[in-house]
């Protein structure tokens, strides 16, 4: 099967405006302030434009040559929870029970030396509107309807460094580690930064019985993204500053989604990889220039699917962030 023969849908995506200044590093022009509950306020410089894009069903593409985590930046795996009775709305239970499940799967897939989960979010439009709180955690977030990657040339390595320190005020693991302990030894972090390879990979899962129909998640083939597409988005927390990359629109972007994702599937999304061309060259070269090298990250976004049934159940999903040491 050729790509031209694959089942296509179309959907609407929010990109940064064409007039936005491309940027690889922080410049103070696009930012938000995030409170302890995880809610944003006081955003600056976020000007969006809506584009209709073709979205390929990635389930069809698996019969071509396969979508791979290291090449496109995402990959779907069967991942039955079996008899695990996990209350996803209880922070402590997720950390103590589900985090290890996520880490084990990512370690098996990547062959990494060490994988540790360190953060998670639940997303639902209804949950966000009703301001539902996670027991012992933050507020449920809405589906992210803006094309983005979770880390940048600055924030990827910085997030690894932060994991060698006690968790900050917004960090999920603060409830477990307290204010004195850290997730990683400083020697492990220094070695990964100077001599090794590290990655941050999200495990995304539908956490309810209904398959995902509304606000499905789309993923952009990392090899179709260029440096001029990137816009740094600063996230000002109470005690640190994080960064994402937002995206400017490009006709070259190829989008995929997995239709009707179930609770027994795990979608791995590469958020940062120090072995990627963009990361290794500090932005001088890009992943699309060297297709035989691992990609650095994949843009992703919820999108509006005009074919969604009016009575479709709301999407309830969880992403768990894992630090991966090779």
Q: How confident is the model at residue 292 (pLDDT cuts 50, 70, 90)?
A: confident
Residue 15 belongs to a domain:
yes
The reply to whether 185 falls in a domain is yes
Q: Strand 48-57's sheet: what is its strand order?
A: 8-16, 48-57, 255-257, 217-220, 300-302, 148-149, 241-247, 230-236, 31-34, 40-44
Confidence of residue 83 (pLDDT cuts 50, 70, 90): low
Query: What pLDDT sits at residue 2?
Result: 44
pLDDT at 199: 98
Burial class (CB in 10 A: 0-12, 13-18, 19+), 63: exposed
Q: Is the residue at 54 inside a domain? A: yes
The pTM assigned to this predicted structure is 0.94
322 is a domain residue: no
Give the range of the structural domain holding residue 286, as residue numbers without chain letter.
3-83+143-191+206-316
Mean pLDDT of all residues belonging to the chain: 93
Domain annotation covers residue 257: yes
Residue 290 in any domain: the answer is yes
Residue 279: is its pLDDT beyond 90?
yes
Instruction: State whether residue 289 is helix, strand or coil.
Output: helix
Confidence of residue 65 (pLDDT cuts 50, 70, 90): low
How many folded domains does the chain comprise?
1
Q: Decide if 117 is inside a domain.
A: no
pLDDT for res 35:
82
The verdict on residue 200 lying in a domain is: no
């Amino acid at each position: 099967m050729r790509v031209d023969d694959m089942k296509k849908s179309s959907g609407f995506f929010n990109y940064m405006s064409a007039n936005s200044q491309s940027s690889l590093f922080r410049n103070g022009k696009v930012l938000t302030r995030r409170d302890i509950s995880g809610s944003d306020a006081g955003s600056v410089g976020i000007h969006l434009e809506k584009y209709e894009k073709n979205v390929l069903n990635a389930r069809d593409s698996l019969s071509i040559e396969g979508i791979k985590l290291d090449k496109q930046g995402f990959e779907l795996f069967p991942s039955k929870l079996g008899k695990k009775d996990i209350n996803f709305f209880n922070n402590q239970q997720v950390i103590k029970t589900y985090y290890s499940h996520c880490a084990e799967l990512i370690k098996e897939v990547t062959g990494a030396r060490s994988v540790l989960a360190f953060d998670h979010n639940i997303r639902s439009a209804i949950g966000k509107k009703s301001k539902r709180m996670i027991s012992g955690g933050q507020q449920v977030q809405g589906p992210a309807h803006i094309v983005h990657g979770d880390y940048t040339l600055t924030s990827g390595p910085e997030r690894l460094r932060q994991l060698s320190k006690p968790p900050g005020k917004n960090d999920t693991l603060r409830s477990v580690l307290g204010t004195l302990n850290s997730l990683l030894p400083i020697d492990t972090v220094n070695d990964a930064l100077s001599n090794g390879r590290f990655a941050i990979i999200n495990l995304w899962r539908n956490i309810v019985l209904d398959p995902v129909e509304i606000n499905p998640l789309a993923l952009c083939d990392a090899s179709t993204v260029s440096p001029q597409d990137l816009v740094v988005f600063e996230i000002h927390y109470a005690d640190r500053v994080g960064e994402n990359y937002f995206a400017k629109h490009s006709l070259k972007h190829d989008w995929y989604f997995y239709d009707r994702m179930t609770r027994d599937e795990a979608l791995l999304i590469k958020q940062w990889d120090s072995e990627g061309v963009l990361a290794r060259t500090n932005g001088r070269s890009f992943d699309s220039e060297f297709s035989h090298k691992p990609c650095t990250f994949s843009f992703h976004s919820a999108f509006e699917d005009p074919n969604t049934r009016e009575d479709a159940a709301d999407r309830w999903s969880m992403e768990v962030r894992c630090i991966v040491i090779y």
